[in-house]
Amino acid sequence: MAEIIKSEQLYRLYYDICCRLGAPEEEAEVVANCLLRADLRGLYTQGSSVFPYLVELVEKGLMNFDVPFGVINDQVSMAVVNGGFGVGSVMATKSMNLAIEKAERSGIGAVWLQHGGDFMMASNHVLQAIDQGMMGIVMRNGSPLVAPFGGREKFFGTNPISFGVPSENKHPIVVDMASGSFHKGRLLWPPEISGRCRRGIWSTVTAITPMMPPVWLSIPVIASPIWMAASSPWGIKAMVGQCWLS
């Protein structure tokens, strides 16, 4: 019989393991919160099932905790940052915070993050902007995993992209998607769950202050890879339409 684990216990597990891997308390909190938010939104492939992969990257030195956040080009509304192969969730969180600061001053903030690592669920960082009453856009590239149309060899990364806007009601509009037909995190699930299914380099985060009152439309997060072909166009349609309304 499956054991039910409380969210507080899962958070503590993530936090403690990150600390054992050398994370400062603040960075352990960021990673634990990002992973737990993915789990609580039902996107386990970006939470519990992908956590061993994150641990492996840190143990192999492909991502590292306690890495300086190096701004190498700082302008009024944009910046370029060298993440120094730090842990992706940490570097993406800091990048979005910087984008939000710039958006508060100039109306838009865009931050390009080099060597930022895999930051798991992209919408984690869109939600940072939404929490501040702003629109948010997050995307990144990655290692080749997806074959082009008509091809058999992997060539493109899954290149996840997420965007969202605040709402007057409880739920904002959030779209979170990638170009693959399913998430590799599903391969880590046990067979009874997964059924037949048995390193990012560049990232971009943008925060935009809303020019108009918050939107009224509310749709659920588009996250399931199985729905990707059908849901992605509708999510894009909703977002483009809302930008015109604004």
Q: Residue 168 maps to which CATH number?
A: 3.30.1370.60
Does residue 39 belong to any structural domain of this protein? Answer: yes
- Position 2 in a domain: no
Residue 53 lies in a domain: yes
Q: Kindly report the pTM of this predicted structure.
A: 0.78
Instruction: Please give the structure tokens belonging to residue 112.
Output: 């390009």
Domain range for 205:
7-245
153-187 per-position pLDDT tens digit = 878 777 888 888 888 777 888 888 876 655 555 55
Q: What is the pLDDT of residues 37-78, one digit of tens each?
A: 999 988 888 888 889 989 999 999 999 999 999 999 999 999
Measured in whole angstroms, the distance separating CA 76 from the mean position of its chain's CA atoms is 25
Task: Give domain status of residue 1, yes or no.
Answer: no
Q: State the total domains in the chain.
A: 1
Q: What is the DSSP letter of 50?
A: T
Cβ-in-10-Å burial (0-12, 13-18, 19+) of 233 comes to exposed
